[in-house]
Amino acid sequence: EKGGFEHFMLKEIHEQPKAVRDTMSQRIAKDGKRIVMNELKWNADFLNNFNKVYIVACGTAYHAGLVGKFYIEKLARIPVEVDVASEFRYRDPIVDENTLLIVVSQSGETSDTLAALKESKRRGAQTLALTNVVGSSIAREADQVLYTWAGPEIAVASTKAYTTQLILFFMLALYMAEIKGTLPDDEIAHFVSMLQQVPAQISETLSDVEPIKTFAKQYGFNEDVFYIGRSLDYDVALEGALKLKEISYIHAEAYAAGELKHGTLALIVEGVPVIALATQKSVYEKTLSNIKEVKARDAVVIGIAAAGDEELEKYVDHVIHVPETDELLIPILTVVPLQLLAYYAAITRGCDVDKPRNLAKSVTVE
Ligand code: F6R
Give the pLDDT band of residue 236 (cuts 50, 70, 90): very high
Worst-scoring range by mean pLDDT, 78-92, 99-113, 219-233, 291-305?
219-233
Protein residue with least CA distance to atom 5, ligand 1? 59
Query: pLDDT > 70: what percent of the chain?
Result: 100
Closest CA to 243 of 57, 13, 68, 70: 13
pLDDT at 209: 94
Worst-scoring range by mean pLDDT, 56-70, 71-85, 218-232, 322-336?
218-232
pLDDT at 288: 98
pLDDT at 282: 96
How many whole angstroms separate alpha carbon 303 and alpha carbon 219? 15
The yes-or-no verdict on residue 220 having pLDDT over 90 is: no
**352 Cβ partners below 8 Å, 6+ apart?**
none
pLDDT at 361: 85
pLDDT at 360: 83
Distance from chain centroid for Cα 52:
21
Query: pLDDT > 90: what percent of the chain?
Result: 91
**228 Cβ partners below 8 Å, 6+ apart?**
234, 237, 254, 255, 256, 257, 260, 274, 275, 276, 277, 287, 290, 291, 294
pLDDT at 258: 97
**306 Cβ partners below 8 Å, 6+ apart?**
279, 321, 322, 323, 324, 325, 327, 330
Mutate to test the pocket of ligand 1, among 9, 55, 106 (most ligand atoms within 8 A of CB): 106
How many whole angstroms separate alpha carbon 170 and alpha carbon 78? 14
How many whole angstroms separate alpha carbon 301 and alpha carbon 237? 14
DSSP 77-99: ---EEEEEHHHHTTS-----TTE
* Residue 127 burial (C-beta neighbours within 10 Å; 0-12, 13-18, 19+): buried
**Cβ–Cβ contacts within 10 Å for residue 314, how many?**
9
Give the pLDDT band of residue 218 (cuts 50, 70, 90): confident
Ligand 1 atom with minimal separation from the 60 CA = 10
For residues 202 and 322, is the Cβ–Cβ distance under 8 A?
A: no
Residue 266 alpha carbon to ligand 1 centre in Å: 31
Residue 104 alpha carbon to ligand 1 centre in Å: 9
pLDDT tens digits, 16-39: 999 999 999 999 999 999 999 999
pLDDT at 234: 98
DSSP 197-211: HHHHHHHHHHT--HH
pLDDT at 223: 87
Task: Tell me the angle at which helices 160-180 and 185-206 cross, rounded to the nearest 10 degrees.
Answer: 170
pLDDT at 261: 92
pLDDT at 359: 87
Just list the catalytic residues.
361
Give the pLDDT band of residue 7 (cuts 50, 70, 90): very high
Give the pLDDT band of residue 82 (cuts 50, 70, 90): very high
Task: Report helix, strand or coil for 5.
Answer: coil
Mean pLDDT of 267-271: 93
The full length of the chain comes to 366
The yes-or-no verdict on residue 366 having pLDDT over 90 is: no
Q: What is the mean pLDDT of the chain?
A: 96
Distance from chain centroid for Cα 31:
28
Q: What is the pTM of this model?
A: 0.97
pLDDT tens digits, 119-175: 999 999 999 999 999 999 999 999 999 999 999 999 999 999 999 999 999 999 999
Q: Which residues line ligand 1 (CB under 6 A)?
A: 58-61, 105-107, 110, 113, 157-158, 242, 246, 362-363
Residue 60 alpha carbon to ligand 1 centre in Å: 5
Residue type, 60: T
Give the pLDDT band of residue 363 (cuts 50, 70, 90): confident
The yes-or-no verdict on residue 222 having pLDDT over 90 is: no
Residue 34 alpha carbon to ligand 1 centre in Å: 31
